[in-house]
């Protein structure tokens, strides 16, 4: 019995690790996709605010998108600088 219990615990642990890896992969996918975009969009900024910093400005950016960029860049700056 102790051997079977150890095997069950090991299998349970492995299943949890795989589940966590799958969850992490699923959570990171939108961020990775945003980072690979040719230019920032409202969707890329929602997925990863840093795309407003390092991706090019789209030629057809409207005022609402530029306002979203300003807010995202402020958030990024505050994250780097820390509290006042």
Higher pLDDT, residue 83 or 29: 29
Residue 48: name the closest of 29, 58, 34 by CA. 34
pLDDT tens-digit map of 15-48: 666 666 666 677 788 888 898 999 999 999 999 9
Q: Encode pLDDT of 48-81 as tens digits.
A: 999 999 999 999 999 999 999 999 999 999 989 8
pLDDT of residue 2: 66
């Amino acid at each position: 019995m102790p051997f079977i219990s150890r095997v069950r615990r090991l299998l349970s642990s492995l299943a949890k690790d795989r589940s966590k890896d799958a969850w992490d992969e699923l959570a990171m996918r939108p961020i990775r996709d945003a980072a690979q975009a040719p230019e920032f969009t409202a969707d890329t900024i929602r997925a990863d605010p840093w795309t407003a910093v390092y991706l090019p400005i789209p030629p057809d950016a409207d005022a609402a998108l530029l306002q979203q960029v300003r807010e995202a860049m402020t958030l990024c700056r505050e994250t780097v600088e820390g509290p006042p």
